[in-house]
Structure 1
Amino acid sequence: MGGTISFIKSFFPVILGRYWYFNAYIALCLLLPFINAGIKRLTQKQLERIIAALLLFTMTSGMLGHFFVQDGYSAFWLIVMYLVGAYLKITTHNVKRVSSRQLMLIFIGMTLISLFGEAISIKFIGHSDIWLAYNSPMVVIESIAIVILFTRIRVKSVRLQKCLARFTPLTFSVYLIDSNHAFYGFVTHSAFTFIRVQNVMVGYLIIIMASVGMFVGFIVCDYGRAQLFRKCPQLKLVMIGRETIGYHVNKFVTSWGSR
Structure 2
Amino acid sequence: MSVSGQYWYVSAYIGIYVLVPYLNKMIEAMDKGNYRKFLTVILIMTEILPLIRNHSFMTGDTLFSLIPIYFIGGYLRKYSSDFDEKKEKIRNHFCTSNIINGGVNFSD
TM-score above 0.5, yes or no: yes
> Structure 1 residue 19: deviation in Å?
1.2
Larger Rg: 1
Q: Is 1:80 the equivalent of 2:61? A: no
- Per the TM alignment, residue 88 of structure 1 is displaced from its structure 2 partner at its CA by 0.5
Pick from 2, 27, 32 the counterpart of residue 20 of structure 2: 32
Aligned partner of 2:100 in structure 1 is: none
Deviation at 1:16, TM superposition (A): 6.4
Q: Give yes or no for the alignment of 1:66 onto 2:51.
A: no
**1:46 aligns to 2:37 (yes or no):** no
For these two proteins, the number of residue pairs brought into alignment is 89
Partner of 1:218: none
State how far apart, in whole Å, the 2-side matches of 1:93 and 1:57 are: 28
Q: For the aligned residues, what is the CA RMSD?
A: 2.3
Seq. identity, %: 25
1:138-149 correspondence to structure 2 within 5 Å: none
Query: 1:17 Cα shift?
Result: 5.2
What secondary structure does 1:65 align onto?
A: coil
Inter-CA distance 97–75: structure 2 relative to 1 (3 Å threshold): same
Give 1:35 deviation, angstroms.
0.6
The aligned runs of 1:109-124 (5 Å cut-off) are: none
Distance (Å, rounded) in 2 between the aligned partners of 1:41 and 1:29: 19
Q: Distance in 2 between matches of 1:15 and 1:57?
A: 23
Q: Which runs of 5+ in 2 are unaligned?
A: 96-108
Letter in 2 for 1:43: D
When normalised by structure 2's length, the TM-score is 0.70
C-alpha distance in 2 between matches for 1:96 and 1:45: 19
Please list every run of at least 4 consecutive aligned residues from structure 1 whose deviation after the TM superposition is greater than 4 angstroms: 14-17
Partner of 1:18: 6
Cα distance between partner residues in 1 of 2:55 and 2:69? 19
Over 3 Å counting, the alpha-carbon distance change for 1:86 and 1:60 in structure 2 is same
Task: Provide, for residues 18-59 of structure 1, a one-character-per-residue CA deviation record: whole Å limited to 9, x for no partner.
Answer: 312221111111111111111111111111110111112211
Query: Structure 2 vs 1, CA of residues 76 and 101 (structure 1 numbering), >3 Å: closer, same or farther?
Result: farther
Matched with 2:99 is none
Kept in 2: contact 1:17–1:23 (CA 8 A):
no
Opposite residue 65 of structure 1, the aligned amino acid is: H
Which one has more relative contact order, counting CA pairs under 8 Å at least 6 apart? 2
Pair 1:60–1:15, CA change in 2 (3 A): closer
Contact 1:55 1:80 in 2 (8 A): yes
How many Å separate the matches in 1 of 2:3 and 2:46? 27
